[in-house]
Every structure is written in C-alpha cells, then in structure tokens.
Amino acid sequence: MLVLRLLNVVAPAYFLCISLVTFVLQIFVFIPSMFRDPSTTPLFSPALLHGALFLFLSANALGNYVLVIQNSPEDLVADWLDGSRSPGSALPGTHFCRLCSRVTQRHDHHCFFTGNCIGSRNMRNFIMFCLYTSLACLESLVAGMAYISATLSMSFADPLAFLTLLPHSISQFFSGALLSSEMFVILMLYLWLGIGLACAGFCCHQLLLIVRGQTRYQVRKGMLVRARPWRDNLQEVFGKKWLLGLLIPVQNVESSYCRQKEK
C-alpha cells in the first residue's frame, strides 16, 4: 500500500513535468525555428498553425485532466463506515478505493497519473484526456522531427531513419559530435511516441468497453452486465452535448446512477 500511495504522488508529478518540458520545447524551440523559413507567408506560416494546434490540444488535455481530478467519486464512505450501507446493497459496479478513501459509482479503475478513481462522474473527461494527450504527443513528435531534420540536415522520408535515429545519436553524443540539447530533443521524440501510443490504445480500449456497457472493474471481477443498445451506453457516458466536449473541456453530465439516486 505504501508503494501505491507513493506512485499516486509520483505519477501526477511525472505527467506535469513532461507537460511543462513539452510546452517549453514547443514555445521556445520548435515554433521559433519554423519562423526562419522565408518561403512561407506570415499569416499562414507553419509556426502559427503548429502553435495554434498545439495550444488547442494542450488546453483540452490539461483541462480534462483537471476535470478528472475535480469530478471526484461520490463521497459515500460515511455510509459504509457507519454500517448503514453494506457492500451487497450497493449499486452494480460500486467499489471502495482505499487509496482515495471514497466509493466510486460504476468504478472502472484507479488512475495513478491523476491520483483519482475513474467512474461515472469523470469517465468522459478521462477519455477526452487520453485522446487529446495522444494527439498533443503526435503533434509534438511531428514538430520535433521537423526541428531535428533542419538542425541535423537529415531526412525522415525513409521510415528506418527514425528507428535508427536513437542508436546513431547516442554514439554521436558520446563522441562529442552531438550537442546535449539535440540529444535531449531526440530522447523526447521517443518519449512522445510511447506516451501517444499508450494513450491512444487506452482510449480505444475504454471506448470499446463503453460500447459494450462494461467497465474494467466489471471485466476483471467477471460481473455480468445487462445488455443495452450501444447508443444508450455511449449517451450515458458522453451525454447529449458530446460534441461540445470534443471542442472544449466541460463538466461531465450526470450519469443514470445519479438520476436513479435522486428518484
């Protein structure tokens, strides 16, 4: 438990550090280097387009990250501790997390990178966070490759060029032919690739579970779920204003569990 609590603190700090490094590289290194191209017009220069796209993706990723933390699981722990609510009487998929010390309705999993449980109140924001994080990593990867291509005068037209970039760069770095700043950017390229692929895969996996009306907790425990139309399952998580949630970070809609509780 001590290791998990430590991971619950280290993982968010790691994510925020990566986000800060990415922002600094984009604003102070990648985008200024794009302004040096004299063949582009100032209005439609790649620097402005990349800058606007990066800010849009970053704002949505960080905005949904904050909303995942703010939309905490329902605080029903008092009912459990005083014995007024037993685990058997809880709604299906309800789970008490010892790390959060709270009860999550329609519990999916505990996310260490947000330090919070993912359930009915923040599932939509968590999926948007994964989606925009993967897109921001992809955009940073493209901008970083363009910077390295111009700095080292190399081409990535051959896919093998990216795969062999790291071993060649390491040998050049230790021989003194490569600057430490350039080596750092190359390492960040592979980090962005790994984080982007992981977030994209996790996002697709979560969407598949939502379409089926399941959660990771239910699959892990072998719980049976009532068959429902996939449209109803999607609407329960994303709500009727799902398009607005794709464009800007907004609060999650009330789930059917909350409506049942109010009734």
pLDDT for the residue 173: 94
CB 182 within 8 A of CB 152: yes
pLDDT for the residue 21: 97
The pTM for the full model equals: 0.87
| Residue 21 Cα to chain centre, angstroms | 16
Residue 87: is its pLDDT beyond 60?
no
pLDDT band at 58 (very low <50, low <70, confident <90, very high): very high
Report CA Rg, the chain: 22
Note the pLDDT tens digit of each residue in 149-194.
Answer: 999 988 888 878 898 999 999 999 999 999 999 999 999 999 999 9
Note the pLDDT tens digit of each residue in 90-129.
Answer: 455 678 888 887 788 888 999 999 999 998 889 999 999 9
Helices 180-212, 165-174: crossing angle, 10 deg rounding: 150
Give the CA distances from residue 100 to residues 8, 35, 86, 250, in Å, rounded to whole numbers and listed in that order: 10, 47, 19, 23
CB 93 within 8 A of CB 218: yes
Q: What are phi and psi of 29, to 5 degrees?
A: -125, -60
CB 12 within 8 A of CB 113: yes
pLDDT band at 253 (very low <50, low <70, confident <90, very high): low
* CB under 8 A, 24+ apart: contacts of 173-177: none
CB 65 within 8 A of CB 130: no
Residue 222: is its pLDDT beyond 60?
yes
Q: What angle do CA 153, 157, 163 make, to 5 degrees?
A: 85
117 catalytic? Reply is no
Residue in 111, 130, 137, 199 annotated catalytic: 111
Note the pLDDT tens digit of each residue in 11-51.
Answer: 999 999 999 999 999 999 999 888 776 665 565 677 888 99
Q: What's the burial of 217, exposed, middle or buried (CB within 10 Å: 0-12/13-18/19+)?
A: buried
pLDDT band at 80 (very low <50, low <70, confident <90, very high): very low
Average pLDDT, the chain: 85
CB 100 within 8 A of CB 117: yes
